[in-house]
Amino acid sequence: FNKLIDIYAEPELREKWKVSIQGNSVAFGSAKDRWGFNYNIAQRNGVGFKDVYDAYNSDNQALIKELSDKAPLHEAVLGMVVQHHPPPHVAQRYRIPKIWPGDLDSDIGKSLVSCDDKGPILMMVTTINVDPQAGRIATGRLFSGTVKDGDEVYLIDGKRMGKIQSVNIYMGNTRELVNMLPAGNIPALLGIDHAIAGETFSSVKNVPAFESIKYVSEPVVTIAIEPKHPKDLPKLVEALRRITVEDPNLIVKINEETGETLLSGMGVLHLEIATSLILETGLEITTTQPLINYRETVRNNAGPIMSKSPNRHNKIFMRIEPLREDIIELIKNGHINDDLDRKQMAKILREKGWNADEAKRVSAVDISGNILIDETKGVQFIQESMDSIRSGFDDVIHSGPIAHETLRGVKFVLHHFVPHEDPAHRGLAQLMPATRRAMLGSMLLAEPALLEPILGMEIKCPQEQIGTVAGILSGKRGKLLNVEQKGVITIIQGEVPASETFDLSEVMRGGTAGKALWNTYFKTWQIVPQSIFKSLVNELRKRKGLNPEPPGPDEFIDKE
């Protein structure tokens, strides 16, 4: 433990955080039999390892009871907490400069540093739980001010107000109603329905928030989940609602074709934890094997190409380009979205190198990282037809031409539009299929590619296991990116395709004899290697009941 402190602790706190028996920061005990002692209790009560040895080597169970009476476990643990844990008004002096980005010399900054219960409310939410009766419970550390029943607080990241219905505090695993709590405590607040973990509550607006949690909005592994007994379906719906509130990285969807309930997460382990939480509620469920979510994209420009509506009276001319990664990131981070003022969006895009005319003609933005541009000029009925064209865009985004996967990084440009004069002949039923065909045809001409999710890995292991870990990564189509030595621990940075991680736990534990610890996180999307592209596409299409061979562009492109 002290070696880890040497590696990770702040330099000024390193010696203070190290533990020692003589310093009364180490205890020995048994949670099962409820005895425990540290250095102070051993000296004061005259208890030691000989008493423990005698108690457990005797057939007289009363000796273990005498041991717990002589050295109660709670006294040892709580005594160390009181002695070594700094009180809030002391801890916040060195914690606030590291976790709060605001001005420490401002009134709010001074309140935070001094843990002032008369200052403005500033609280960081760290956990969200859902109680069947009470609803959403926001639990976190109150760094400044006093929270009371009925107080209104501002959700800084959520940009909305919330009203505290009830102030509670957890005592062990039970929640006690207290009505008010001052700074330094960990309140559990009821009534704030839009709170998420990482949110900052404040009684005043326009204050810097604590660092928020960034949620990954692209889950990469999916399972189908259903109750073992159909009568338990409402219970499953409620359980899924609860865990998705507590963990926004989990996404629940209904497959409209099959009626399956699909649960998507950031990896196999993430979904295993989610299903175990559901099982803990006593609900019996069945799940399918995990499936990887892929994305479709293009590597080249194509078009303009033309497609006609089913009645042959409307013509859509579409061209296509790959979207740059920096623009995709702006969309993923919410800096560019469909609700953004178009002048502001045009300014952002011009700063990223787009020409002024194209930047101001964005018609639709999709959260997966796709854009629709309207570059038509002088076309009749274009405004009233755009809703139908956007519907075609939305449909294609979620079902690409290669394997019916979601699109990513595609810029569709509506080049020209020739509508029928009669509104009856240019409705949704005509323009949506025409738009869809034009988009799919242009994609198939633009070197379509399949993207697979890549997981980053951080592996901690002894130095002698580096070769084994590197071999496991290369066997999984992965890469070893960096090796760093920190004391006795080697930290390896690597990456591996999500599709290769289903048995990673077994392989890693077996290869390193359990001496490696690792975690994975979603890192990026990467083009599937050409060597497995065709077989993977065939496999995905077969699984979805499609013809194994993708369609050709001629199926969607019409001639004049």
Give the H/E segment covering residue 6: helix 2-8
Residues 302 and 398 in one domain: yes
What is the Cα–Cα distance from 303 to 437, expressed in whole angstroms?
13
Across the 560 residues of the chain, what is the mean pLDDT of every consecutive 10-residue run?
79 86 93 93 91 89 90 93 91 90 90 93 90 87 94 89 93 89 94 87 89 69 89 88 83 77 85 89 88 92 91 92 92 85 91 90 91 90 89 92 93 92 87 94 94 91 90 91 86 92 87 87 90 92 88 88
Phi, psi at residue 177, to the nearest 5°? Answer: -80, 125
462 and 490 Cβ atoms separated by less than 8 Å: yes
> For residue 497, what are the β-bridge partners?
454
User: Is 559 among the domain residues?
Assistant: no
Q: Which residue in this structure is represented by tokens 């075609």?
A: 392
Residues 434 and 352 in one domain: yes
State the pLDDT at residue 395. Answer: 93
Q: What is the CATH number of the domain that holds 229?
A: 3.30.70.870
Q: Which residue in this structure is represented by tokens 């499609």?
A: 546
User: Is 304 among the domain residues?
Assistant: yes
State the pLDDT at residue 427. Answer: 87
Residues 437 and 300 in one domain: yes
183 and 142 Cβ atoms separated by less than 8 Å: yes
Residues 51 and 176 in one domain: no
DSSP 354-393: --HHHHTTEEEEETTTEEEEE---S-TTHHHHHHHHHHHH
Q: Please state the pTM of the whole predicted model.
A: 0.71
209 and 188 Cβ atoms separated by less than 8 Å: no
State the pLDDT at residue 473. Answer: 92
Helix (H, G, I), strand (E, B) or coil at 87: coil
Longest dimension (CA), the chain: 99
**End-of-domain residue from the set 413, 446, 479:** 446
State the pLDDT at residue 217. Answer: 55
User: Is 330 among the domain residues?
Assistant: yes
Residues 65 and 93 in one domain: no
Q: What is the CATH number of the domain that holds 97?
A: 2.40.30.10
Residues 480, 481, 487, CA angle at the centre, nearest 5°?
Answer: 90
> For residue 168, what are the β-bridge partners?
177, 188
User: Is 533 among the domain residues?
Assistant: no
DSSP 400: -
Query: Residue 477: left if φ>0, alpha if ψ -120 to 50, beta else—which one?
Result: left
Helix (H, G, I), strand (E, B) or coil at 37: strand
State the pLDDT at residue 216. Answer: 57
Residues 172 and 107 in one domain: yes
User: Is 454 among the domain residues?
Assistant: yes
Residues 46 and 104 in one domain: no
Range of the domain at 192: 88-202
Residues 419 and 308 in one domain: yes
State the pLDDT at residue 351. Answer: 92
What b/e sequence results for 447-474 when a residue is b if at least 16 CB atoms lie within 10 Å of its CB, and e otherwise? ebbbbbbbbebebbbeeebbebbbebbe
Q: What is the CATH number of the domain that holds 475?
A: 3.30.70.240
Residues 312 and 437 in one domain: yes
State the pLDDT at residue 408. Answer: 94
435 and 558 Cβ atoms separated by less than 8 Å: no
Residue 446's nearest CA partner among 305, 271, 263, 264 is 305
Residue 492's nearest CA partner among 457, 468, 464, 520 is 457
CA atoms in the 13 A half-sphere facing the CB of 265: 20
492 and 480 Cβ atoms separated by less than 8 Å: yes
Residues 73 and 138 in one domain: no
Give the count of domains, the chain.
Answer: 5
State the pLDDT at residue 172. Answer: 82
User: Is 314 among the domain residues?
Assistant: yes
User: Is 213 among the domain residues?
Assistant: no
Residues 78 and 128 in one domain: no
Residues 441 and 314 in one domain: yes
State the pLDDT at residue 28. Answer: 94
User: Is 536 among the domain residues?
Assistant: no
Q: What is the CATH number of the domain that holds 350?
A: 3.30.230.10
214 and 332 Cβ atoms separated by less than 8 Å: no
